[in-house]
Structures are given as structure tokens and as C-alpha cells.
Structure 1
Amino acid sequence: MDQVKTYRTNVRIGNWNEDLRLEEDAKNEYLEKKQRGELAAQKVEVLKQNMLRPVDLTASSDGRLHFGDVVMLVNMGGENRARSTVSINADINSLNKTPSPAIQAPCGISAGQCVDACTRTAFIITSIDGSPEGSTLHFEQSFALRTTSGFAMGLYLSSDLQSFQKCSKKSRLQEVNLDDKCSFLTWWKILHFDPQERLEYEGQPVPANEDVVIIHCKTNHALAALGDQVLWTTYGKEYEVTAHTFLDSHKAEKDTNHWMLCTAENRLELLNQSQSTADNQEPTEANPGI
């Protein structure tokens, strides 16, 4: 007598009912999160839409920087890095939905290669000594750099002494981030990029769109973009930003410490330079072009 099969492929075995319930619960949880906008992909989309929203930079009528000006901090690059702009390095963990979508402090900083004026890259020169808005910023005068209001929450560029618990992630140098309180940790000053001419320029108006050195008042370290320390952010590959003075053999700050506070006029020149570079770039096997 032939053996009768007692098992078929459509027979349910094991804890099939429990597995079915778990699948239904997971699906319902997914749909609820999607409806509330809590999925990771949705958070990234909200973050990028707000962070990359265009911002109008200040047009400098006299070629100088003033309190209240909206500028970008641009490093023109060097031996081991491309041109980069100080940018808010916010991820979905920095996103706060109540009472309205916004980033929260503390928040990181990086140097991205995008030169578009947007919420990520725009900073407001803010007075901390009572200077009225619109008055001229001078060399060696203390000031603060604040993000725009709204989604960027008006946070201040801040730094503090390096310690084992508090330092930059990659280089382990002095950390630079964004804080919601204006204090001595958020005070900066500008020096002429040439040390031999600093005494002559002390107290003079700071020109816009020219190389300068940005010094942290408490620690006396210069803002720097590190080309050899790469961060993989929500917005792509970017450089680490720290407060550390890099000197050459002549005791002058290297170009990693040189920054332009760019206004609306210079941004157009940067965009034209970027377009020219892209047009002249030869397609290669690694970069086949479009």
C-alpha cells in the first residue's frame, strides 16, 4: 500500500497566527507613522526642503561688513580641499516638530562645497556690544554669528576649550557647533589675514568678500576647515570645521584659516566660477559626465 502524504505546501505550521498578527501590527504602525510624517525618509525630505530654502544675502553698498548683514562664510580651498562654505550640519536627530518644524541646539557645523545662499549657509553678523544694526564692523571688534530665524532657530556659532569629553569628532581638535544662547563662547573677532599688517588695520572697517581670519575670543583659536577630515552628512561629503590655528613657517595662518564673509555680489562670482569649473571639467572613467 502506497504511503499517503499527510502534509501539503499550503498547510500552515508553527506560530502562523502569531506571525500574521505581527505582520499586521507592523503594517499598521508603518501607516500610522507615515500619516504623522515620522518615517525617516519623510524627516529627511522635510529637513532638506527647509535647510536648502534660498536666502537673500545682504548687498553691500560700500564694500564693508555691517551688523545685521546676512553673509556666507567661504573658504576658497587649498592643497587638500576644494572651496567650501560653513554650513549647518543638521540631521533627522536634530529635527524638532513641536510646536513647528525646526532644528534644535546643540547642532553640528560642517563645510560643504555648495555656494548657494540658503538656510544652511546663511549667517547674520550680530552685535554683542550694543552697536546698532547697520553700523560698520571693525577689525578686532567682538561680534556673534547667528543663523537665520524660523527653521534655523537663530542659533549662535559657538566653541569652547578642547577637552577629552568635548572635542571635534574626527580631528579631536576644538569643537565648533551651534548653541541657542549668546554668551562669551559665541564671541568672535576678525583679523587681517596678513600678520604684518594687523596693527595697521586694527580698528579699521572690515571689507566684505576679502580673505580674513576669524578668531574665537575666549580661546584665541582661528576658525578652520579641515580638508583631511571628511564627514559624510545628510547633504553629502563635507569637511570638518574646527577652531584651531594652523601656522606656516612664517608664523602666519595657513589658507585653511582664511575666510571670506561673502555678500550678494560675491555670491554671483562664486556661482559663475562653479559653472566655469563644471563646464571645463573633462569627463573621465571615474567621472563620465552627463
Structure 2
Amino acid sequence: MQRAYEVSPAAAELRPYFDSLAPDGFTQVGCATYGVVPCDGEVRAGWFMWALRDAVAQAGHYRSASEAQAFYTRLAEEIGAACDGARLDCLPPRVTMAPPFRLSFVGDTVRTFGRMLVFMATFDGVTVPRNPISCVVDDCGQLPYYVSFLDMVHTTLFVVPPGMAADFQRRSGEAIQWPFQARSAWVAGKLEAVTAGYRAVLPWLLTVAVLAYAGMGVTAILRRRVEPLFLVASLAALVVLVRAALLAYLDVVAIPSLNSLYLSPAYPALLVFTMAAVLGGIRQAWATRSGRADAASPRAAAESLVGD
């Protein structure tokens, strides 16, 4: 950014933000993620786009969408002109924030993709929030905007947001057992039991599901008959694989992405695949057994002789 300030008046408008303590949250999480000790104050990887957005907002260019677009266009033109004039050492023009492709990304992405699938199958990293808070009017009435939020989403359980952390810590430290603390402990205990159950059962059930899915696939090819649940399982598997592949590439080229938060949209699809494949395999095995039994019945044998 220091070099950009010198060649771009638009970039120079962002200097007060980047020279202040405002982006410290982004720098600290970047240093913690990449193990930079002591932290060098740089905003790394994917966190830079969020810091840039905040800097532009602080500079007063987010009063409207058109104003923000105009500022980004001016910033790009000034930086581009500096690159063309050799005042900045730049890569070729691109329309993406992803780094230039390198062949080594392929192998790294494939390996990370495999780790993603194992991570999901074992429910690794799936944990119950440490400080869930059950909040209704009786014990969070002094924060009406949170009550309004809970009313909109029809729930009484959510994770403590940063803005409420101080109030949560103050009230949690009091000797009185507040209603939300009791409800949170009860809900968290139930969720931990459910999570432990998934973690114990899912790897084995998923193994059976993969075998059943393969069997349904072979049967579909040989008999030219597709089990409907095979199609359901295929669609669910596609959702899981695409999500894992995208995050594997993101993990390699940008930011660490092997975590349950980023993979969370794929977990329901993984469960759908598991159940559809297992049930489809059972249906297919039952149909095959019934067909063999019918073929071996005395009536079927008599009809075969009459036909001869």
C-alpha cells in the first residue's frame, strides 16, 4: 500500500485507515493463521478485501452503490496507469483476486481435497459453540435489538456476537444463575450428545453408503435401470464434492479453508447422500432377492415348461 499511496490519489485516501489501529483485527487473525510471531502488521490473503472495503467506507465512499463503484473504478485506473508507466512493478492485468495459476496448485488441491473429505466424514472440527446464549425478553430485555432479531428468526439460541461479549461476560460472572445460562447449558449438552453420536456412527455408515452407491451404479449400467434414490444420492454427492473442491483450491491459493464453518453447507448434503445411498442399496437388494425368489417358484417353473 505504501507504493500505491505514491502513485494513486485514490489509494492515498485510504491511508488514514491502514495507518490506524482499525485493521488490527485482520492483521492479528492473519498472523495467527499463518504463525507469524511477532505479528508484522500486514493484512494477509483474503482478509485484505475486507480491510479494503472498510477503508473505502471510512473514506466516505459507501454512501451509495454508484459512489462506491466510481471510487473503485478510479482506484483501478490510477493503479493501472502506474503499472503501464512502470512506476509500479505489477503482474499482467487480471479481473480476479485469485493469484496467477501455477501447475503446482493441481497436486496441492487434490491432496487438500482428500483431506476435506476425510474431515467431513469424521465430523472433525464440528463442535458445539462454547458460549451459546439462550435469550428471551425476560433476561435480555435490556438489549431490544437482540430480542427483535430472535423474534425474526424464530429461535432462542444463537452464538454470542462480538458486540455482546462484554455484557455476556459480566452477567456470566455473577453469582446468580440467570435463566439464559441454565437454558444454554441444557441445549449445549444435548447438542454435544448429538454431535458425539454423529462422530461415532457417520464414518461407518458412510462406508456402507459408498459401497451401496457403487452397487447401484453397477446395476444401473448392467440392467439399464436406475434406482430413484441413486439419483438423489448422486445429486447430494455432487454438492459435497463441488463444495470440497472449491474450498480445497481456496485453501491452496488464498486462505486456510479446512474448517467446519466453510464446509457447513455441504454437511446436510453429506447426510442426504448417506441415507439415500443406504436406503437405495437396501431397496435394490430387496428387489433383486424378490426377483430371484419369483424366478425359482414352482409356478414360474411350470410356466417355463409350458412355454417350451
- After TM superposition, the score normalised by the length of structure 2 is 0.21
- After TM superposition, the score normalised by the length of structure 1 is 0.22
Which protein has the bigger helix share? 2
Larger radius of gyration: 2
Which protein has the bigger strand share? 1
